[in-house]
Amino acid sequence: MIGRKVFFAINLVAGMSGLRLDRGRMLLAWIPVLGLIGLGAHLSQVYEFQWAWMAGSWIAYYGGNTLILGSGIRRWMITRLGPERAYSIYEMICGWLFFTIGSGFTVSATMMVDGLVLDRKLAWSLGILLAIFGFGIKVWATALTGLDTYYYRDLFLHEHHENWVARGPYRYLSSPMYGAGNMHGYSAALFVGSIPGLLFALCCHLGIYGFYFLVERPFIRRTYTTELGQE
């Protein structure tokens, strides 16, 4: 029982970062990513590359998901490959995108151009508070809905989540992963005093809400009968 709970916790956090340990086939998908990690580490100190990596990770994640889930690409994949195979491919792509946007946060937090002028104790206090609050809400929400929902299975397949009930943070927020849950994105930038890091976190916060209103919210309104709560 304890072993299952430990694996559940590890798989949950790893899955939120892009690697689902409960999906054996997804482990193979990370082999080419290891090469990108090495390349990124080698070029991470190049100023122009840092901006390009940040922009690329933002476009890949928000633009890529919006394109796949909000256009005919999703339907074409399902028609050609079948629902389960199509989703398994999208699931791997989604994992890469989660990792990519996470790498963008890492790169942005290391940029010290025009460093943030803020009392160090205040910056660390705010950073710790946002990290605990934001990440805690996101983990809580993901534990309740499951990694399949986190990886947009319902949205990709246009399926109704039969066991859905408004629990935990969903009692008060319609999208706690996006609003409160993304607050931890500002913490690393506050720790090191990086203005580019704060700006990148803000752009990601705006980006996920853009995705929510353009793609996810219309799906929820069409599929679920319960009324949306207030942010």
Q: State the Cα–Cα distance between residues 125 and 122, nearest whole angstrom.
A: 5
pLDDT tens, residue by residue, 200-227: 999 999 999 999 999 988 887 777 654 4
CA distances to 1, 46, 107 from 39, rounded to whole Å, are 41, 12, 13
In terms of C-beta density within 10 A (0-12 exposed, 13-18 middle, 19 or more buried), how is residue 109 classed?
buried
In the chain, the percentage of residues whose pLDDT exceeds 70 is 80
pLDDT at residue number 66: 92
Closest CA to 90 of 146, 38, 158: 158
Of 70-79, 147-156, 221-230, the least confident: 221-230
Q: Distance between alpha carbon 196 and the CA centroid of its chain, in Å?
A: 19
pLDDT at residue number 24: 65
pLDDT at residue number 14: 85
Q: 47: which residues sit within 8 A by CB, 6+ positions away?
A: 111, 113
Domain ranges of the chain: 2-223
Assign 103 a pLDDT band (cuts: 50, 70, 90).
confident
Whether the pLDDT of residue 162 is over 50: the answer is: yes
pTM above 0.85, yes or no: no
pLDDT tens, residue by residue, 28-45: 556 566 666 656 655 556
